[in-house]
Structure 1
């Protein structure tokens, strides 16, 4: 996805408006009670950790949504490595506006930076292989685009964004449909009837299912799920160039390279978005 596209920006703005509704309610009374509405100030985004910075562009959108008159001076951009003591940006303008936007900007940046950092660790690990790291739909409800944006910033590849932009036939689909071939054939008929052009990914639980998938045409990628290294290599050899290959199932930084060395095109990991520890960031007033 192009995160600068009008479609992406609409979704990002919806997230911002909903988050501000949740946080601000009928007013930031902490600020309203003790800071004059004419007061102006300056604050800096301070990094108190190490990792890959993400969410700067989102923070910029947050500050703009809260107060178009706020000015940002960006020193470190998304995707940059950062260390303790680095300053990502300065924001100047209404003190009340800065404080109103502070928590939303920080919460998003801390999580996005954590996701980008973990993604970059996988990308660096897989350097020199043909394998790319994919994210999944295992994201926080309501902010998926932010988490997938962070994966993109970290150098990973976005998988499908939802149930609407790719067909993915997993174990339950196959079982409910009555088998691998029936699931694929029903899917292809559905796409033809609906005049839809969607890629088809099919999950395989064992070598027999892979063999059956290969008897069907039109499969874009086979998901080799929960295979060990030896069987993954055998699966990749069997599939050849008939379609792309993906390994998944509890793959970690400790095991990813071994799966990549089996020759798969992709490794997918839900841990990129569901198992991260926020990067420590804070917004501090600047006294001039």
Structure 2
């Protein structure tokens, strides 16, 4: 599933369905739908979106109806127009209608992230700058949300606290200085050392101490341009902080290597996607 090999999909499906079913069952489907009834449905998008999450939706349907027939009509990462059909399902009506909400919630959320991400990627096309996501994700959903940003065209930044050091203002305050904080990371043998700076006079001390990546925090484009010149290509530079769709192009044009955007996973609205009975 394009980088989700480490995601425990079966556990996610089980826990999500258990949350919905609680200590009982789907009382509506059990009471209203005959046991032998079949459901032929189409998942479709009412919005123009970038699709993400279809393999996960399929897993919900298969968990409750192992014999379900699923036809995927588009792939994750595809950009589709409003009114597009995404997949067809055919199987036990009780099972598919019980799984419906969990499947839709997942695809709506992840497609919303992928769609917003693609807008930001398109906004900086041709600048040479790469869009990064952040760790500002919902607890328990990081791998899925970062998968969705990849489907939208972004590059994953740190997956967690384990894969790089990111020295921010609070770390510097406790350590005593940028140099002290970076020096300790170097002494600890950390290979990737990202240092947040919000003033130009912090750049050279951070580089001299051993920073391998500079996060230029909340700098306006003129200051970013000056910072990029000072760094001179010695390490990658990343603009971050308050980046919006209407400002990202000017930020990227300063020459920074990366722009990171927390709102991709924090603020993306869910896509309008439904599952409807297929009409003969």
- TM class by shorter chain equals over 0.9
CA–CA distance in structure 1, aligned partners of residues 229 and 11 of structure 2: 46
CA deviation profile, 1:71-107 (whole Å, cap 9, x unmatched):
2101111111222221111011111110121101111
Residue in 1 that maps onto 2:60:
62
CA–CA distance in structure 2, aligned partners of residues 61 and 243 of structure 1: 42
Q: 1:182 is matched with which residue: 163, 180, 183?
A: 180
| TM-score normalised to structure 1 length | 0.92
CA–CA distance in structure 2, aligned partners of residues 257 and 166 of structure 1: 27
Residue in 2 that maps onto 1:284:
276
User: Would the aligned equivalents of 1:165 and 1:198 in 2 still touch at CA under 8 Å?
Assistant: no
Q: 1:36 is matched with which residue: 34, 37, 43?
A: 34
The answer to whether residue 176 in structure 2 is matched with residue 213 in structure 1 is no
Gapped runs of 5+ residues in structure 2? Answer: none
User: Would the aligned equivalents of 2:49 and 2:82 in 1 still touch at CA under 8 Å?
Assistant: no
User: Would the aligned equivalents of 1:52 and 1:81 in 2 still touch at CA under 8 Å?
Assistant: yes
User: Would the aligned equivalents of 1:60 and 1:72 in 2 still touch at CA under 8 Å?
Assistant: yes
Give the drift of 1:2: 4.9
| Distance change in 2, residues 1:22/1:161 (3 Å) | same
CA–CA distance in structure 1, aligned partners of residues 175 and 62 of structure 2: 49
Structure 1 ranges of 4+ moved more than 3 A: none
Residue in 1 that maps onto 2:235:
243
The answer to whether residue 217 in structure 2 is matched with residue 225 in structure 1 is yes
The answer to whether residue 235 in structure 2 is matched with residue 256 in structure 1 is no
Pairs within 5 Å for 1:114-133: 114-133=112-131
Give the drift of 1:21: 1.1
| TM-score normalised to structure 2 length | 0.95
Residue in 2 that maps onto 1:19:
16
The secondary structure found in structure 2 opposite 1:214 is: helix
Residue in 2 that maps onto 1:234:
226
CA–CA distance in structure 2, aligned partners of residues 139 and 220 of structure 1: 25
User: Would the aligned equivalents of 2:4 and 2:147 in 1 still touch at CA under 8 Å?
Assistant: no
CA–CA distance in structure 2, aligned partners of residues 58 and 95 of structure 1: 19
Please report the RMSD computed on the Cα atoms of aligned residues, expressed in angstroms. Answer: 1.5
CA–CA distance in structure 1, aligned partners of residues 55 and 262 of structure 2: 24
CA–CA distance in structure 1, aligned partners of residues 216 and 150 of structure 2: 23
